Amino acid sequence: MENTAAKKVMLSGIQPSGDLHLGNYLGAIKNWVARTDEFDNYYFMADMHTITVRQNPADLRRRTLEQLAQYIACGLDPEKNTLFIQSHVHQHAELGWVLMCYTMFGELSRMTQFKDKSSKHKENVNGGLFTYPSLMAADILLYQPDFVPVGEDQKQHCELTRDVAQRFNSIYGDVFKVPEPYIPKAGARVMSLTGPDTKMSKSIPEGCVFLMEKPEDIMRKFKRAITDCDTENCVRFDLANKPGVANLMSIYAAVTGKSYEEIEREFEGCGYGKFKPAVGEAVVEALRPIREETERLLKDKAYLEGVYRSGAEKAEYVANKTLRKVYKKIGFVAR
């Protein structure tokens, strides 16, 4: 077995509340794969977080298993990364309750995602929607990670996690490692194809490219992608003045490995009519092996079950050590 004792610990998860898309892959999962040998990694399907918004049970089960298969198809080797389903490790819920009692009401009130989601789901502004940052803190702190890879929109949650950890440690001693946010430089934000001022999201499906989408549908979306209302019609990276073109160039660079300068030279004098289909074709080819491998894995239910069972066993072993320490510190009687 590979020695991971000297490795730093990294942890992250994605909610199976919708199908994984190009933004998830380029902004997160591709970076996770690149760090496989550098860190001791824990990656999970955050199914407990999804139920702050009502879910169809059958769809949630399907998406959770699809997400696991897609993690593997994207290159996350289960032999080198701990892959598990959040609800299979009961310590998440248990530490989540404890940390809720060490998270201030005012801190939760300031969370921008609560404000955003409560405005979108006015008929279901539940307690979980308000307190889930405490569960997120538990997700992180259970594994004593050194780093948490987060997008810019998740920095607020990471800062809250650090505040809660420091508050707990100030009362009970050195219980939690205070993790650092890990923000990758490249591919961190993939914007919507229909509105480059907003992040690619499953909630705007026309501007979102899903990993399991048919090639012809991907091509249609790229051909219709917003470029820019300028007269020069040239492929040039200018985030301020040409955000649509800059977004397409960023995607093309991420899937081909080419620099912006190389892309500008490649499409010099070509205009958007040739550039947009070229980006679409590059994305189709990048996603083809992922889609085909995911479809193959989903037919092998026994293999996927073996992956999530062994992942949960390893995660639970590590999580339980943290939870037992916490329970002892706050005065719970040992089982």
> Domain limits of the chain?
8-188+300-330, 205-295
191-to-98, 201, 287 alpha-carbon distances in Å: 37, 8, 18
Write the pLDDT tens digit of every residue in 20-35: 999 989 988 988 898 8
Q: Is the pLDDT of residue 124 over 80?
A: no
Q: Quickly count: other Cβ atoms within 10 Å of residue 113's Cβ.
A: 16
Region 98-104 average pLDDT: 97
User: Of 65-69, 145-149, 259-263, which range is least confident?
Assistant: 145-149
Domain covering 205-295 in this structure, CATH number? 1.10.240.10
Q: Does domain 8-188+300-330 have CATH number 3.40.120.10?
A: no
For residue 196, give the nearest of 241, 153, 154 by alpha carbon: 241
- Tokens found for residue 222: 């790229």
Q: Is the pLDDT of residue 67 over 70?
A: yes
3-state SS, residue 21 = strand
Region 189-194 average pLDDT: 89
User: Of 4-8, 235-239, 242-246, 326-330, which range is least confident?
Assistant: 4-8
Mean pLDDT of the chain: 90
DSSP-assigned letter for residue 66: H
| Full-model pTM | 0.88
3-state SS, residue 59 = helix
Dihedral pair phi/psi, residue 62, rounded to 5°: -60, -45
For residue 248, give the nearest of 240, 266, 260 by alpha carbon: 260
Q: Is the pLDDT of residue 210 over 50?
A: yes
For residue 134, give the nearest of 173, 170, 160 by alpha carbon: 160
* pLDDT: which is higher, 30 or 1: 30
pLDDT value of position 320? 98
* pLDDT: which is higher, 159 or 83: 83
How buried is 228 (Cβ within 10 angstroms: 0-12 exposed, 13-18 middle, 19+ buried)? Answer: middle
Catalytic site residues?
A: 117, 199, 202
3-state SS, residue 80 = coil
Q: How far apart are alpha carbons 187 and 282 in whole angstroms?
A: 15
